[in-house]
Amino acid sequence: MAEANGSPGSGALRPAGAAADAASDGRSSSAPARREGGARRIDVRRGAAVEVSGWDGSEPLLAQAPLLERDDEMAVLERVIGKLCEQARAESGAPGARPGELLVVESEAGCGKTTLLDEARRIAVEHHCTVLHAKGAEREQTRSFSVVKQLFFNLLAGCTGDERAAMLGDWHDIIAPALGLCPATAGFAPDPLGIRDALDWLMTGLTRHRGPVALVVDDAHWADAESLAWITSFAGRLDQWPVLLLVSRRTGEVTDVEPLLRELCALDRTRRISLDTLSRAAVSYIVGEALGSGADTAFRERCFEVTSGSPFVLWAMLREVRRLRIAPVAANTGRLGAIAADQIGEQLAARLERMGEATIAVARAVAVLGSDATTVRVASLAEIDMDKVGLIADRLRAAAILVDLDVLNFVHPLIAGAVYQWIPKSARSALHARAARLLVADGRDARSAALHLLATEPCGDPWVVEQLREAAAQDKRAGAPDSALRCLQRALIEPPRPADRAAVRYELGRATFVTSPQEAINHLRVALADDAGDRVLHLSRALGYTDCIQEAVELLDTEAQAANASATRLRLQAEHFLWAVFWVDDPDYHARARRLKNLVVRLEGSNRTERCLLALRAWYGMVRGDPMVQVLASADQAWGPGLNWTDEDWGFEIPSLLALTYMYCDRNDRAEELFTEGITELKAHGWRGTHLSYAHSMRSLVRYRQGKLVQAEEDCQIGLRLALRLPPTAPARWYPLGTLIQVLVARGRVGEAARIADEHAFGEPFPSAVVFPDPQAVRGELRLALGLADEAAADFLETGAKLEGRGVANPAWCGWRVNLAKALAGRDPEAAYEQAGEALRRAYRFGAPSAMGQALRVTGRLEGGQKGLAKVEDALMWLEHSDARYEYALTLVEYGMVLRREYGDRDAVDPLFEGLTVAVECGANALADAARAELADMGELPPTAMLGPGSGGAR
């Protein structure tokens, strides 16, 4: 980007974007109506240049002198917006098309960022774009979704119900509270990823129905974190939308959102525009335009010196010079320094003081109230008659301190900052406290009050604690957990009354858990010490999620034994057995399983706690390899209402474990149904992070076991995509990666599976918590497919030792013995047969057809001869009536190959053809290739019917 001071040899100074023959008043011949009539209001809601001066919510774009030394910047804006609209209207689908554009305008304060953005909005309106505009504010950075609300509220509030429903669809309940369109529903708490996805959906609908969109965000360094997180995420995928994202930021202003701004500016598609201060020539030109050609050279030079070329300070100073009727001659240059200083900083405060105490009170009230500064509220906060406030406001408008709007606001953030900092700290705190009560009395919600209460000094006021707790609850339900956390931290400092302290600690612990589980544990421990109640449940959950599972289990066991009420004791026991499921090194697993079995003998599933215990009993029995009939009896008793995926008190673990129990018992249709219901519920509640990734990953595991390999791969990719949006430390990616590797191996894409494993570091250190499928066993399967039998055997042996140590005896849960037998077959057939035989004995005890079929197939292969063939035939019998279609296809093809080798081609044709049919149905390409190759070799298929390179054999 060229320097903002213009280019050498460009001739006479002229307004940016104007032709050489522009009118003397600086209006570009290409846009003759831009500045006619002074300030005019433009309706940017519908993307049309319509005069709407009567519209209450529109923003006036004030007429100013022409932009100088911004030719290059204006040319970029014209070119980018024109190209965006041209591509959008042509519905360009050309490969590599990048319809979205990201521009970041940067400069020091007062260099004209806002003016340039206003020009961009004008250009976009003239190109019939839908223009959405928002502005960050220093005092409102803690108001969650403040910028997002500015962008979309007027647009959506002005729509009919049908129009709004068409744009928001199923996302309405998730996004509407964040945008301020309706109150947040109790018990409904979307996660931040859900809000971002909802906003993406809204942008998709806008661009589809209203053409290209210009999204303009001014002063992004003061944007709230929730809004800027979405903007940054959205910017990374702008190639999907015909959107110009235009963002301005102040250089040298480091705020809490600086990391997000750095991430935004570091995106590959970012174009950065740096604005410099005005040159001497430009300042001289502006002085002449403002004060007339009689302004002498010394006066013009002094104007440059005292303003340092800042456009804002220059114009503010020149307005004051004209108001005071100071002649622009050398004799008056001595007054310019004081006049310039009066426009910002401490001198501005002194200037306001000269206007009287009432003016000071009004200015302070406006600074504190920010965007809520209506005349009525300012009058109340300043304790001045409303008519007098109106007169003072007119005076401040005439002095170019306030803008000419119904809501009182300063003309520039520099002025707002100067006035605010001028208020003594104690007085500022008192004003914010009164402003909070004023807003609540005016019908505003607790979140509006919290914006002010966060800026007050602690004073032990129970009302403050109450409002902050309510604001935190509203923020949480609106998908802003970080904002909820700030409110609760401030409530604890207030401090709360002794009777409320434990409750605040408890709420703070739950809110902190989202970002810092370890800190959450500290708060929950204190809350538990003050008042146990159900605090122990959330403390145990925090311990479990931070890999302190042993402590969680022992805490719950202790509390359950000490509980007096039977219902409380049963609830604690349920949570105790739940977390013991994930304790990898549980030394008492068998005894714990027996305790659970005895506990549920008399339970009938009459309430949610009983159904949860029955679901856990089914899981424990399945893991131990108890007869499947017993396991399913407990699972069927547990199946019923109340096992919700989004229940914050119970979590999603119970319905998930119940679904997995059905899967391992070969009731895959019911397991798939449960996970599909879970995905629907999670999406409806806006839970788009770990939970949704896990649900898709587990449904992919179900579909893999069913032989629906194509659908399983799709689910894996969705689960992995969601997991990769989470922090790198989140364990969510292990679940989709494990199943994805298994699916790719089954489909014959072993090299791709190996590449993905390397790319995502799928290896040591493996997670210490229980993961489905077991990651080390999956790596063993991959190594086996790559021909690394010894390395695979080592993985299976380590997996077996780990699982056996914690009581996992069911080969349906993890077929490590069967796979170990395959790995050992080449170098130690006897040991291989022993492992396969043990897997078969355990599979018979459990009774799941898929587990028996797999163990029979491998045992038969190792045994060989007539007895071995009979075992393979038994495997086919079991698998034919199960929905383990891939395993059935694998066994058919292997059976056909054995028949051909032992008895000739004629007997092998039918199983090979059937195996080919089922393999194609499953999407098992390598297995289908192997069957085709065998049939072609027998003359049953022409060679042209075979697939190309990359064919593989049966595993």
At CB < 8 A and 24+ separation, what contacts does 380-388 make?
A: 380/438, 381/431, 381/434, 381/435, 381/438, 382/358, 384/358, 388/358
Longest alpha-carbon distance in the chain: 118
Which CATH superfamily, name and number, covers 71-90+100-274? P-loop containing nucleotide triphosphate hydrolases (3.40.50.300)
The full length of the chain comes to 955
Whether 608 has a pLDDT exceeding 90, the answer reads no
Report how far apart, in Å, the C-alpha atoms of 913 and of each of 546, 916, 932 are.
52, 5, 8
Whether 306 has a pLDDT exceeding 60, the answer reads yes
Instruction: Give 161's contacts (C-beta < 8 A, 6+ positions apart).
Output: none
CA–chain centroid gap for 568, Å, is 36
Whether 14 has a pLDDT exceeding 70, the answer reads no
Report how far apart, in Å, the C-alpha atoms of 745 and of each of 450, 668, 700, 898, 924 are.
54, 21, 14, 23, 9
Report how far apart, in Å, the C-alpha atoms of 164 and of each of 134, 169, 316 are.
20, 8, 42
pLDDT for 11 equals 32
pLDDT for 10 equals 32
Instruction: State which H helix or E strand residue 691 sits in.
Output: helix 690-706
Whether 955 has a pLDDT exceeding 70, the answer reads no
Helices and strands (H and E) in the chain: how many: 44, 7
Percent of the chain whose predicted confidence (pLDDT) is above 70: 87
pLDDT for 187 equals 64
Q: Output b/e per residue, 75-92; b: 16+ Cβ within 10 A.
A: ebbbebbeebbebbeeee
Q: What is the pLDDT of residues 896-925, one digit of tens each?
A: 999 998 888 788 899 999 999 999 999 999
Whether 841 has a pLDDT exceeding 70, the answer reads yes
Q: Output b/e per residue, 586-621; b: 16+ Cβ within 10 A.
A: beebeebbebbbebbeebebeebbbbbbbbbbbbbb
Global model pTM greater than 0.85: no
Q: What 8-state DSSP symbol labels residue 239?
A: G
Q: What is the pLDDT of residues 883-894, one digit of tens each?
A: 899 999 999 999
Alpha-carbon distance of 434 to 381, in angstroms, equals 7
User: Cβ atoms within 10 A of the Cβ of 143, count?
Assistant: 23
Q: What is the average pLDDT across 643-666? A: 88
| Cβ–Cβ < 8 Å for 476, 192 | no
Alpha-carbon distance of 150 to 228, in angstroms, equals 13
pLDDT for 217 equals 97
Q: What is the average pLDDT across 111-138? A: 93
Nearest to 127 by CA among 30, 208, 248, 17: 30
Sign of CA dihedral 582, 583, 587, 588: negative
User: Cβ atoms within 10 A of the Cβ of 831, count?
Assistant: 14
Kindly tell me the burial class for residue 210, based on how many C-beta atoms sit within 10 Å of its own C-beta (0-12, 13-18, 19 or more). middle
Q: What is the pLDDT of residues 785-825, one digit of tens each?
A: 999 999 999 999 999 999 988 888 999 999 999 999 999 99
Alpha-carbon distance of 454 to 777, in angstroms, equals 51
pLDDT for 353 equals 83
Nearest to 285 by CA among 267, 304, 270: 304
Q: ω before 495 within 30° of 0 (cis)?
A: yes
Q: What residue spans of 707-785 are helical by DSSP H? A: 709-723, 734-746, 750-759, 775-785
pLDDT for 527 equals 63
Nearest to 934 by CA among 955, 920, 922, 951: 951
Q: What 8-state DSSP symbol labels residue 138?
A: G
Instruction: Give 609's contacts (C-beta < 8 A, 6+ positions apart).
Output: 567, 570, 571, 574
Q: How confident is the model at residue 2 (pLDDT cuts 50, 70, 90)?
A: very low
pLDDT for 21 equals 36
pLDDT for 144 equals 93
pLDDT for 524 equals 67
Whether 50 has a pLDDT exceeding 70, the answer reads no
Indicate the domain borders of the chain. Answer: 71-90+100-274, 283-343, 851-945
Residue 103, beta-bridge partner list = 246, 271
Helix (H, G, I), strand (E, B), or coil: what is residue 104?
Answer: strand
Helix (H, G, I), strand (E, B), or coil: what is residue 660?
Answer: helix
* HSE toward the beta carbon, residue 366, CA cutoff 13 A: 30
| Cβ–Cβ < 8 Å for 199, 148 | yes
Report how far apart, in Å, the C-alpha atoms of 576 and of each of 263, 365, 521, 614, 918 are.
42, 55, 17, 14, 44
